[in-house]
Amino acid sequence: MPAPRKYPSELRERAVRLYRTSEPRPVIRRLAEDLGVHPEALRSWIRQAEADAGERDDVLTTAERAELVALRKENVQLKRANEVLRTASAFFAAQLDPTRPR
């Protein structure tokens, strides 16, 4: 179960929208102080929004991040299933050939 979010998603969306629509671009630290959030939190929200919009290539998009999590979970399950199958095949091989050393 993921940890609870410190800031509500509405605040995140509003902060990013405020940063992106302001001309000239405000200083992140000052905007974060005005909104009552940590500057690094705001900076990461902005980076993620830019990645989701296709403006950044150095950060995974939200969809890519979710896909990666799902693939990692599937990988763990497949490794577990392979281990069970490997153990079961060794057990049945020993049952079929009693002369085989254990």
Domain ranges of the chain: 1-59, 62-102
Instruction: Give the CATH architecture of domain 1-59.
Output: Orthogonal Bundle (1.10)
| pLDDT of res. 100 | 65
Q: How far is residue 42's CA from residue 15's CA, in Å, rounded to a whole number? A: 7
101 has pLDDT over 70: no
Burial of 19 (0-12, 13-18, 19+ CB in 10 A): buried
Model pLDDT, residue 3: 72
Position 66 scores a pLDDT of 97
Give me the pLDDT at residue 97, please.
79
Which pLDDT belongs to residue 60? 95
Q: Give the other-Cβ count within 10 Å of 81's Cβ.
A: 10
**For range 87-99, the mean pLDDT:** 86
Which amino acid, 88? A
Q: What is the pLDDT of residue 4?
A: 75
